Amino acid sequence: MSPVHLTPEMCERGYNNRAAVPDYPAYFARWAADSAATRAELKPELDVRYGKRPKETMDLFSAGGRRGLLVFIHGGYWRALDKSDFSYLVRPFVAEGIDVAMVNYDLCPSVDIGTIIDECRNAAAWLLREGAAHGLATRNVVISGDSAGGHLAAVLHATDWAAMKVDPSPIKASVSVSGVFDLEPLIHTSMNPDLRLNSENAAAWSTVHKRPTLAAPLLIAVGTIETSEFVRQSQLQWDAWPEVRPSSTASGPLMLEGCHHFSAMDALADVRSPLFRETLKFFG
C-alpha cells in the first residue's frame, strides 16, 4: 500500500522523471542515434511478431546463440517509447556472446496495463517456445526491464507459467531497473487519464501484492539520485520478496551511485557499471 502521507502533489513530483531530470531530451536523442547505429551494424531480425495486436513484435539480435538470451522490456510508463529506442543497450551483451530480444507492447490508453502484462507474458512464452528456431540461446534466459519495464520484468517473475503450459526453467534470473512495483501512487498523478488506474486494478497489477513463482533471483537496481519514490519502490519490492534476493545484493537493492532515472538505464550497457557486471553473472 502507498504511504498515507503521500499527497497528490507529492505523487506527481515523485513520479515525474522528466521534471526531475530537465535535460532528459538529450538522453532520448542520444538513445535514438545510438540505437539506429546499433541496428545498422548488428542487422537484427526486426519486428518479429509474437501476437496479433499492432505492437506485439520484437527485435532479435543474435550473438550466435552461444551463451544465453537477454530479454529487455522497455519503459515509458506503459504509455510511451518503443523497443527501437533501446537498441543501444544491445552492443555490450552481443560482444559477450549473449543474444538479445527487445520486446514491444501496445501502449496505454489504447490498451490497459493488464493487457500489456498479458502481452509481455506471451512474448516471453513465445521466446521460450520459438526462440531456438531463430538461433537464440533459449536454454539460459534473463528477463530485464527499466521503469515500467522493470515492473513488467517483475510481473514475469510472478507469473503462473503452468497455467500457460510453459516450462519456465530456462529463466535463470530477472533484472528490474528503476521499477514501479506498487501502482497505487500513480492514481494520483497526471498520467492516470492514460493509465486508468483505480484502487482495485492498481492492487491487482502491483507485484508487491504477489508472490514470486520462479526460484530464480530477481536483481533490483535503482539510481542513488532518483526521486525518493523510486528509491522507496525498489526497497519495497526488495522487502516483499526475500526468497529471490541475489546473494550479491542480499543487503538491499543495488544502488547505482550518481545515477538518476535515465542514466540508471545507461548503466545496464556500461561495462564498467556494477549493474552490467551483476547482470552478466547470471549467464555463467
pLDDT in tens, 68-109: 999 999 999 999 999 999 999 999 999 999 999 999 999 999
Inform me whether the pLDDT recorded for 65 exceeds 90. no
Inform me whether the pLDDT recorded for 4 exceeds 80. no
Q: How far apart are CA 227 and CA 223, in angstroms?
A: 9
Mean pLDDT calculated for residue range 215-226: 98
Inform me whether the pLDDT recorded for 186 exceeds 60. yes
CATH fold of 8-281: Rossmann fold (3.40.50)
Higher pLDDT, 248 or 195: 195
Mean pLDDT calculated for residue range 201-218: 97
- Lowest model confidence (mean pLDDT) among 4-18, 251-265, 269-283: 4-18
Inform me whether the pLDDT recorded for 1 exceeds 50. no
The pLDDT value recorded for residue 3 is: 52
Mean pLDDT calculated for residue range 16-35: 97
Inform me whether the pLDDT recorded for 282 exceeds 70. yes
Inform me whether the pLDDT recorded for 6 exceeds 90. no
The pLDDT value recorded for residue 98 is: 98
Inform me whether the pLDDT recorded for 9 exceeds 90. yes
Inform me whether the pLDDT recorded for 47 exceeds 80. yes
Q: What percent of the chain has pLDDT over 70?
A: 99
Rounded mean pLDDT of the chain? 96
Cβ distance 41 to 216 under 8 Å?
no
pLDDT digits (tens, 9 = 90+) for 139-178: 999 999 999 999 999 999 999 999 999 999 999 999 999 9
Name the pairing type of β-strands 98-103 and 171-177.
Answer: unpaired
User: What value, to the nearest 5°, has the Cα angle with vertex 24 and ends 20 and 29?
Assistant: 170
Inform me whether the pLDDT recorded for 5 exceeds 80. no
- Please count the other Cβ atoms lying within 10 Å of the Cβ belonging to residue 161: 18
The pLDDT value recorded for residue 36 is: 98
Q: What percent of the chain has pLDDT over 90?
A: 96
